[in-house]
Amino acid sequence: MEPMTARRNGAAFAQVVGILALLNMLVVSMYAAVGRAEAAKPIRIVAFGDSLSAGLGLGSSQAFPAQLQKELNARGHNVVVANAGVSGDTTAAGLQRLAWAVPGGTDAVIVELGANDALRGIDPKETRANLEKIIAGLKGRHIPILLAGMRAPPNWGDSYVEDFDAIFPDLAREHGLIFYPFFLDGVVLDPKLNQNDGMHPSGKGVAEIVKRMLPSVEELIARAQARRAAASKS
């Protein structure tokens, strides 16, 4: 090969290498920009439950989802908490509306259902089966779950209480869920923290629930962030 031709070929090769390097830098920069955009989006949490989530008897700003979001934002978490609570819902009713109550783009779900099953004396086997299907539906969509436990009133007898109360820790253990043992912990039966019906928390009662649940919810946020990060790399 003549010297002039060799020099030309070498220059052309160097030019191609430079273009490829530039393209690689552009691709890396694009993916980094996409990653930053994803990280900047708020974590969308759905509070999926009954009247205890919906905030029966309270203004919207005093309901559990609103108070939870306010507290999380104050702690530096970029989150939005949607209120998907429906007063009177049993686990069966929750299962029926799961698909539309937890929309696409949801990053995490707090499942708070079962109180109305217990009040109505619904067979714990039915409650367990409904919650199993709800959990399976959310896990099938790869959505992290925080399961809030509920306890049965004593009027149904020891056997019912034992069977019902065991549902929540059993499901949390079997499915590897974040578990908060009792949604009304620290609030139930306290007249200072409940409305006149003695069953639904007041605004102060909800604030107490939020305070106690915060560590579990922050763990839920961490799982949602990890899932989002993994998805952005795939």
Closest CA to 134 of 81, 83, 171, 104: 171
The reply to whether 197 belongs to the active site is yes
Q: Exactly one of 50, 117, 165, 200 is catalytic; which is it?
A: 200
Residues 110 and 49 sit within 8 Å (Cβ to Cβ): yes
Which of 50, 51, 53, 107 is catalytic? The answer is 51
Any catalytic annotation for residue 51?
Answer: yes
Does the active-site annotation cover 77? Answer: no
- 46, with CB counted inside 10 A (0-12, 13-18, 19+), is buried
- Given the residues 158, 159, 197, 234, select the one marked as catalytic: 197
On the CB side of 217, CA atoms within 13 Å amount to: 30
Q: CA–CA separation, 103 vs 54, rounded Å?
A: 17
Catalytic residues, by residue number, are 51, 197, 200
